[in-house]
Amino acid sequence: MNIKEKIKFYKENLDCFDDTMEKYKFLLDQGKKASPFPEEFREDSFKVTGCQAQVWLVPYLKDNLMYFHSDSDAFISKGMVTILCDIFGGNNPAEIDNSELNLLDDLNLNVLLTPGRRNGVYSMLLKIKEHAKSHC
């Protein structure tokens, strides 16, 4: 799936829930499904600045496609970074770099996340795009 298809997939999943707590549970479940984070990358140079929680985001290329290792010390942030890495991972860096940053609007997370968490997600998006741009 491309970026837009993955965003649609997550939007449809989140739209299935009427209750805010069910949406939070979905975010938490995404974090629980995340691949284990390689401990050698748990260093300050891979931290995403602008997040209330500690978030690590490490890009890597495989067959000219960009993927990410990610982790957070907070459950909601871990769920969000896991979703973002799934959405953008598996694409070439130029596709990621050229994607629009209106993800929060598309997923309608502004009603779910606090302003601080929204800022953190925006910082994660900027870091993903920054990594992509450096590999274009």
Residues 7, 114: Cα–Cα separation, whole Å: 20
Handedness of CA 127, 131, 10, 5 (dihedral sign): positive
CB of 86 closer than 8 Å to CB of 69: no
19 Cβ contact partners less than 8 Å away, ≥ 6 residues apart: none
Tell me: pLDDT of 52 over 80: yes
What sign for the dihedral angle of Cα 60, 2, 73, 104? positive
**101-133: per-residue pLDDT in tens?**
887 788 888 778 888 888 999 999 999 999 999
DSSP 38: P
Q: Are 99 and 88 a contacting pair, CB within 8 Å?
A: yes
pTM for the model stands at: 0.94
Assign domain 3-134 to a CATH class. alpha beta
> What's the confidence (pLDDT) of residue 101?
82
pLDDT digits (tens, 9 = 90+) for 83-99: 999 999 999 999 999 99
For the residues 76-86, what does the mean pLDDT come to? 95
